[in-house]
Structure 1
Amino acid sequence: MASVTIYDVAARAAVSIKTVSRVMNNEPNVRPQMRERVLEAAGALGYAPNLSARSLAGSRSFVIAVFVDASLTLDHWRSERGSDYLQRIQLGATVETRAAGYHLLVELVDHDGPRVRQEVGALLAALKPDGVILTPPSCDNEVVLELLDKAGTPYVRLGPEKPEGRGPRVHMDDVAAAREMTDHLIGLGHKRIGFITGDQRYGASQARLEGYVAAMEAGGLTIDKAWIRPGDFTFESAHTAAAALLGLDERPTAIFASSDEMALGALAAAAEAELSCPGDLSVAGFDDSPVSRLSRPQLTTIRQPLVEMSTLATKMLINGVARNAEAGARPRDELIPFTLIHRVSTASPKG
Structure 2
Amino acid sequence: MPPSRKSRSVTLSDVAKDAGVSPMTVSRVINGETNVRKQTRERVRASIERLNYSPNISARNLAGARSLRICLLYGNPSSAYLGELLMGVLESAREIGAHVVVERTQADALNLDDLAAQMNRDWDAMIVPAPISDNPGIWRLVEEHRFPAVFLSSAIKPGLATEINIDEYAAAHDLTATLISRGHRRIAFIKGHPDHTAAAGRFDGYKAALREAGLSLDETLVKQGYFTYRSGLDAADELLGLDEPPTAIFAANDDMAAGVLASAARHGLSVPRDLSVAGFDDSPIASTVWPNLTTVRQPVADMAALAVKLAARAVRGRPEDREAETVRFDYEVIGRDSVARPPE
Q: Which deviations, in whole Å up to 9, do the C-alpha atoms of 1:238-271 show, x marking residues without a partner?
A: 1111111111121110000011110111111111
What is aligned with 2:69? 63
What is aligned with 1:142? 136
What is aligned with 2:80? 84
CA gap of 1:152–1:315, structure 2 versus 1, over 3 A, is same
What is aligned with 2:181? 187
1:308 counterpart = 2:302: yes
- Please state how far the C-alpha of 1:136 moved relative to its aligned partner: 1.1
Q: Which deviations, in whole Å up to 9, do the C-alpha atoms of 1:311-336 show, x marking residues without a partner?
A: 1111111122898977xx97311000
TM-score for both structures, normalised by structure 1: 0.77
CA gap of 1:144–1:276, structure 2 versus 1, over 3 A, is same
CA RMSD of superposed structures (Å): 2.5
- Please state how far the C-alpha of 1:170 moved relative to its aligned partner: 0.5
User: Which among 87, 111, 114 is matched to residue 116 of structure 1?
Assistant: 111
- Please state how far the C-alpha of 1:125 moved relative to its aligned partner: 3.3
- Please state how far the C-alpha of 1:137 moved relative to its aligned partner: 2.1
Q: Which deviations, in whole Å up to 9, do the C-alpha atoms of 1:91-133 show, x marking residues without a partner?
A: 21212222222101111123322x6222322322331x22111
User: Which among 93, 106, 112 is matched to residue 102 of structure 2?
Assistant: 106
Contact in 2 for aligned 1:292/1:301 (Cα 8 Å): yes
Q: Which deviations, in whole Å up to 9, do the C-alpha atoms of 1:266-319 show, x marking residues without a partner?
A: 111111111111111000011111221121111111111101111111111112
What is aligned with 2:263? 269
Contact in 2 for aligned 1:167/1:322 (Cα 8 Å): no
Residue pairs, 1:33-44, within 5 angstroms: none
1:226 counterpart = 2:220: yes
What is aligned with 2:12? none
What is aligned with 1:285? 279
User: Which among 253, 256, 259 is matched to residue 259 of structure 1?
Assistant: 253
What is aligned with 1:22? none
Q: Secondary structure of 1:319's partner?
A: helix
Contact in 2 for aligned 1:136/1:160 (Cα 8 Å): no
Q: Secondary structure of 2:302's partner?
A: helix
- Worse-matched range after superposition: 95-104 or 191-200: 95-104
* Distance in 2 of aligned mates of 1:258 and 1:312: 24
* Distance in 2 of aligned mates of 1:321 and 1:215: 42
CA gap of 1:281–1:105, structure 2 versus 1, over 3 A, is same
What is aligned with 2:327? 334
* Distance in 2 of aligned mates of 1:109 and 1:307: 20
Question: Which amino acid counterpart does residue 347 of structure 1 have in structure 2?
Answer: A
What is aligned with 1:126? 121
Which stretches in structure 1 are left out of the alignment for 5+ residues?
Answer: 1-46, 77-82
* Distance in 2 of aligned mates of 1:254 and 1:322: 49
Identity value in percent:
36
* Distance in 1 of aligned mates of 2:300 and 2:57: 30
Question: Which amino acid counterpart does residue 133 of structure 1 have in structure 2?
Answer: I
Contact in 1 for aligned 2:108/2:135 (Cα 8 Å): no
* Distance in 1 of aligned mates of 2:263 and 2:312: 46
TM-score for both structures, normalised by structure 2: 0.78
Contact in 2 for aligned 1:196/1:228 (Cα 8 Å): yes
1:237 counterpart = 2:231: yes
Q: Which deviations, in whole Å up to 9, do the C-alpha atoms of 1:144-200 show, x marking residues without a partner?
A: 121122222111110233462321100011111101110010000000000000111
Contact in 2 for aligned 1:155/1:322 (Cα 8 Å): no
CA gap of 1:325–1:332, structure 2 versus 1, over 3 A, is farther
Question: Which amino acid counterpart does residue 335 of structure 1 have in structure 2?
Answer: R
* Distance in 2 of aligned mates of 1:256 and 1:322: 43
What is aligned with 2:337? 344
Contact in 2 for aligned 1:168/1:322 (Cα 8 Å): no
* Distance in 2 of aligned mates of 1:230 and 1:321: 41
1:166 counterpart = 2:160: yes
Which stretches in structure 2 are left out of the alignment for 5+ residues?
Answer: 1-23, 32-54
* Distance in 2 of aligned mates of 1:112 and 1:323: 33
Question: Which amino acid counterpart does residue 221 of structure 1 have in structure 2?
Answer: L
What is aligned with 1:20? none
Contact in 1 for aligned 2:89/2:305 (Cα 8 Å): yes
The count of residues paired between Structure 1 and Structure 2 equals: 290
Contact in 2 for aligned 1:156/1:322 (Cα 8 Å): no
Contact in 1 for aligned 2:106/2:132 (Cα 8 Å): no
